[in-house]
């Protein structure tokens, strides 16, 4: 097998897996910090139990995010050494700054928070969870700055293009890359959405069983409001990102919309409601399209023209020389739709829950027993979103500058990569089983188990 | 001649030294866990001794990696792609270890706990061994061609000198960890840690002596460091001897400082031997990577210097503070072990 394909599969597998845990960390940490603050202010035990309950689930998830994150930092060098050499002068900086400014903050203060209950001054204990929240979210900013360079390289010295190694010339341009400042709020809000629907589903599970109602009704209400607001804002920023992608990565936009050839004689561009791809993932078997709708969505103008894949391909062939510049469209198209439709569902669910809250009918909701399934929605959306971002950029690893096929470590054989790919998948699968097992047990056991910190222990004395 | 390249070489050396000093004892604690803690609460107490710290300690490794990427991209690229399978195993170790700390106490089943305790052991042993093997090989030189590409494989690294380096780091970390536990634990556990430390001191000393002697045969230490080639390893040995002395006198804080200093001096020797090269080519010395041909541009180095000047003091301050906050001994009483 082609080592580049294997390396890409490994990167995709380890990164998608890592990002199962990251958004929940990013979002839930704020929720836990908020709950802890409520407890600090009111002294009400209810808030403490909520802090501990959601905090426990947060920590189980956090551990997985941390350990899978180490792989992320290593694998640029391990599998993509030529990429690392080519962009190291630029790409290494945000990664190092992430470690210096964010990882230390997050891990150190989370350690204090975990072990600090009843041992350290209460204000310091509260401050530690806020600092951990700032740390984890700051790390998202730096890694998105790094990723945005791959999507839209800025801040490099044009003279270094010839030397075969990019050199940073303007740090401000690098960190104020417009892509990053759209991707950052999008990601943070997606994290809050993930946390909200995680809480939403688990709270609904308990409410449907009429247990621990005081704690979970409150959690459910917080989750519904936070979820609806966050998912709507994520979408709004997503729209801005779409407009930006049309300018800087027209091929990605064309692939998202499965738009092959935009007929320039007809005004406006059609929106694909459903496209069925052929086996190559780059050709169409059948599609249903609404004329001009894409123009309306993209630029609020029925007549604006969005370029099709073949038109961008022709442009790129002229610009970069002959070659295939079309990404695997089926993944990009469906990745986007999974994200988009999941978001619509979340908006609907959040709206329903808020309506029930306003009518004071939360406990009577018949749908409650189905709501736990909503937990899957943000995960689908998060994964779909990254598939669009990363696969939509192909064949480039750095848009317009370096192709993925030229970025791999030349010393690796297919056998070596296959070995590690299988190794990662096996370990990750086993850990996923353990992680979900623990999360489910703690989530179902409710606040009593998290008060003790353990599940399955025979209760001898209840304090 | 002192330039930013040199400064970054030193900074990366400091990051590695910090990592080995800190994670050294918590790797040691992890390896000792199944042997030291006989009962479940005892094992929990052993873990809690490093509980608030291990994750912060591990960030030193991430930062060393990130700093290498930013300051010396070619070093990062050649090292990480070259030591591919070794790093894969290291990652697997760190992954199961980190998860195990979080997962092991979350379920009451004895089988569950035994499994994760085993994972903590393996996940501490494997990285300790592999990092020792990796560093010994860096000192010895590895096959690198004219394009900065590593041309060996995993077996290239598993040579006698490399393995000696691995065993030495395992032994020194075990001792360092046992002494740390003697500092942090109370009651019977503390006595057991003391007994372990006294036994573990012997193999640590033997291996450090062996490694020092072997270095004269397998690396260019004598010609490159001249007088320092004898002074630095001798100093590392002296402080290790002192550690043993303080152990018998029950001056545990001092003993811990001395094993820490052994680690520091061993790594100082290593980085001094390397400097100004960062990866020595055994194929042809001319193919070696050094702090100039592997480095980032002056602009990036300057930028990163400013960043480091801001954050490193901050990190040292608040990470040091956590050790002060949790300075009390872990009592081993059940009420204190729940978190």
Q: Between chains, do B84 and A416 touch, taking CB under 8 Å as contact?
A: yes
Phi first, then psi: give them for residue A456, nearest 5 degrees.
85, 0
Q: Burial of B108 by CB count in 10 Å (0-12 exposed, 13-18 middle, 19+ buried)? A: middle
| Chain B hits for A431, Cβ within 8 Å | 95-96, 99
Q: Are A140 and A188 in contact (CB under 8 A)?
A: yes
Cα–Cα distance between B107 and B85 in angstroms, integer? 33
Q: Between chains, do A104 and B63 touch, taking CB under 8 Å as contact?
A: yes
Q: Are A104 and B59 in contact (CB under 8 A)?
A: yes
Which pLDDT value is given to residue A424?
96
Which pLDDT value is given to residue B336?
58
Q: Between chains, do A411 and B95 touch, taking CB under 8 Å as contact?
A: no
pLDDT bucket at B332, cuts 50 / 70 / 90: low
ipTM for the whole complex? 0.91
Q: Which of B297, B275, B279, B273 is nearest to B147 (CA)?
A: B279
What's the half-sphere exposure (Cβ side, CA atoms, 13 Å) at A398?
23
Share of chain B above pLDDT 90, in %: 69
Q: Between chains, do A88 and B56 touch, taking CB under 8 Å as contact?
A: no
Which pLDDT value is given to residue A459?
41
Which pLDDT value is given to residue A381?
97
Residue with tokens 């494997």: B126
A18-50 residues labelled b (16+ CB within 10 A) or e (exposed): bbbbbbbbbbbbbbbbbbbebbeeeeeeebbbb
Q: Between chains, do B96 and A168 touch, taking CB under 8 Å as contact?
A: no
Q: Between chains, do B53 and A63 touch, taking CB under 8 Å as contact?
A: no
- β-sheet bridge partners, residue B150: B144
Q: Are B75 and B278 in contact (CB under 8 A)?
A: yes
Q: Is A169 on the interface with B (CB under 8 A)?
A: yes
Q: Is B321 a residue whose pLDDT tops 50? A: yes
- Which residues of chain B from 193 to 252 reach within 8 Å of chain A, CB to CB? none
Q: Is B73 on the interface with A (CB under 8 A)?
A: yes
Residue with tokens 């690893």: A397
Q: Between chains, do B67 and A96 touch, taking CB under 8 Å as contact?
A: yes
Q: Burial of B230 by CB count in 10 Å (0-12 exposed, 13-18 middle, 19+ buried)? A: middle
Interface test with A, best of B44, B68, B73, B86 (most A CBs within 10 A): B73
Q: Which of A353, A411, A418, A343 is nearest to A380 (CA)?
A: A343
Which pLDDT value is given to residue A264?
67
Q: Is B108 on the interface with A (CB under 8 A)?
A: yes
| Chain A hits for B339, Cβ within 8 Å | 114-115, 117, 453
| Two tokens, residue A13 | 């597998």
Residue stretches of chain A with pLDDT short of 70: 262-265, 449-463
Q: Between chains, do B85 and A66 touch, taking CB under 8 Å as contact?
A: no
Which pLDDT value is given to residue A463?
31
Which pLDDT value is given to residue A458?
46
Length of chain B: 339
Q: Is the bond into B276 cis (omega within 30 degrees of 0)?
A: yes
Q: Is B124 on the interface with A (CB under 8 A)?
A: no
- Give the closest of B56, B69, B85 to A108, CB-based: B56
| Chain A hits for B53, Cβ within 8 Å | 111
Q: Is A74 on the interface with B (CB under 8 A)?
A: yes
Q: What is the mean pLDDT of residues B315-331?
A: 83
Q: Is B115 a residue whose pLDDT tops 90? A: yes
Q: How far is CA B1 from the centre of its chain?
A: 30
Q: Looking at chain B, which residue has its C-alpha nearest residue A67? A: B95
Q: Is B51 on the interface with A (CB under 8 A)?
A: yes
Cα–Cα distance between A312 and A254 in angstroms, integer? 8
Length of chain A: 463
Q: Are A436 and A430 in contact (CB under 8 A)?
A: no
């Amino acid at each position: 097998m082609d080592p580049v394909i294997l390396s890409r599969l490994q990167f995709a597998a380890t990164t998608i897996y890592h990002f199962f845990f990251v958004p929940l960390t990013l979002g839930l940490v704020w929720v836990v910090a908020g709950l802890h603050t409520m407890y600090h202010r009111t002294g009400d035990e209810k808030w403490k139990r909520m802090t501990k309950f959601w905090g426990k689930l947060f920590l189980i998830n956090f551990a997985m995010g941390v350990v899978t994150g180490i792989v992320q930092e290593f694998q640029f060098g391990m599998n993509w050494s030529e990429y690392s050499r080519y962009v190291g002068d630029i790409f290494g900086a945000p990664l190092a700054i992430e470690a210096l400014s964010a990882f230390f903050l997050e891990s150190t203060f989370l350690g204090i928070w975990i072990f600090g209950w009843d041992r350290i001054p209460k204000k310091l204990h509260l401050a530690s969870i806020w600092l951990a929240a700032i740390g984890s979210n700051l790390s998202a900013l730096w890694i998105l700055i790094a990723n945005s360079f791959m999507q839209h390289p800025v801040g490099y010295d044009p003279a270094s293009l010839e030397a075969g190694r990019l050199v940073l010339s303007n740090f401000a341009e690098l960190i104020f890359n417009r892509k990053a400042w759209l991707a950052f709020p999008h990601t943070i809000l997606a994290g809050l959405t993930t946390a909200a629907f995680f809480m939403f589903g688990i709270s609904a599970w308990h409410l449907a069983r009429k247990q621990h109602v005081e704690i979970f009704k409150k959690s459910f209400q917080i989750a519904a409001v936070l979820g609806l607001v966050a998912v709507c804002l994520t979408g709004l920023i997503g729209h801005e990102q779409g407009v930006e992608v049309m300018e800087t990565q027209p091929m990605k936009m064309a692939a998202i919309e499965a738009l092959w050839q935009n007929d320039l004689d007809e005004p406006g561009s059609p929106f694909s409601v459903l496209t069925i791809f052929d086996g190559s993932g780059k050709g169409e078997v059948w599609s249903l399209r609404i004329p001009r709708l894409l123009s309306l969505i993209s630029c609020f103008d029925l007549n604006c023209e969005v370029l099709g894949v073949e038109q961008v391909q022709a442009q790129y062939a002229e610009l970069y020389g002959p070659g295939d510049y079309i990404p695997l469209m089926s993944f990009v198209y469906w990745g986007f739709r999974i994200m988009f439709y999941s978001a619509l569902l979340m908006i609907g669910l959040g709206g329903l829950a808020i309506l029930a809250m306003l009518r004071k009918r939360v406990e009577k909701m018949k749908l409650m027993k189905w709501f736990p399934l909503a937990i899957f929605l943000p995960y689908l959306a998060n994964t779909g979103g990254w598939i669009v971002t990363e696969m939509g950029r192909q064949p480039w690893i750095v848009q317009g500058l370096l192709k993925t096929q030229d970025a791999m470590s030349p010393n690796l054989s297919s056998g070596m990569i296959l070995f590690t790919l299988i190794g990662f998948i096996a370990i990750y699968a086993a850990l996923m089983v353990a992680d979900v097992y623990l999360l489910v047990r703690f989530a179902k056991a409710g606040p009593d188990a998290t008060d003790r910190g353990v599940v399955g222990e025979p209760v001898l004395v209840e304090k | 001649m002192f330039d930013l390249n040199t400064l970054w070489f030193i900074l990366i050396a400091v990051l590695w030294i910090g990592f080995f000093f800190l994670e050294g004892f918590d790797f040691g604690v992890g390896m000792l866990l199944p042997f030291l803690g006989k009962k479940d609460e005892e094992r929990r107490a052993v873990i809690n001794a490093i509980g608030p710290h291990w994750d912060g300690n591990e960030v030193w490794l991430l930062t060393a990696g990130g700093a290498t990427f930013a300051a010396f991209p070619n070093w990062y690229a050649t090292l990480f792609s070259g030591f591919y399978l070794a790093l894969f195993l290291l990652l697997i170790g760190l992954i199961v270890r980190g998860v195990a700390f979080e997962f092991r106490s979350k379920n009451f089943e004895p089988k569950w706990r035994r499994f994760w305790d085993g994972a903590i052991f393996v996940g501490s042993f494997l990285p300790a061994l592999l990092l020792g093997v990796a560093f010994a090989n860096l000192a010895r030189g590895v096959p690198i061609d004219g394009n900065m590409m590593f041309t060996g494989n995993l077996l290239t690294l598993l040579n006698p000198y490399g393995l000696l380096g691995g065993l030495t780091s395992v032994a020194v970390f075990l001792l360092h960890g046992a002494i740390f536990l003697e500092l942090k634990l109370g009651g019977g556990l503390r006595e057991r840690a003391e007994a372990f430390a006294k036994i573990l001191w012997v193999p640590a000393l033997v291996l450090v002596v062996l490694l020092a002697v072997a270095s004269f045969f397998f690396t260019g230490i004598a010609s490159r460091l001249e007088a320092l080639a004898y002074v630095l390893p001798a100093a590392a040995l002296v402080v290790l001897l002192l550690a043993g002395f303080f152990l018998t006198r029950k001056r545990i804080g001092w003993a811990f400082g001395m094993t820490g200093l052994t680690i520091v001096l061993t790594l100082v020797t290593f980085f001094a031997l390397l400097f100004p090269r960062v990866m020595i080519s055994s194929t042809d010395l001319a193919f070696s990577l050094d702090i100039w041909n592997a480095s980032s541009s002056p602009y990036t180095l300057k930028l990163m210097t400013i960043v480091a000047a801001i954050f490193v003091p901050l990190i040292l301050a608040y990470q040091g503070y956590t050790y002060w906050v949790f300075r009390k001994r872990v009592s081993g009483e059940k009420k204190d072990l729940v978190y």
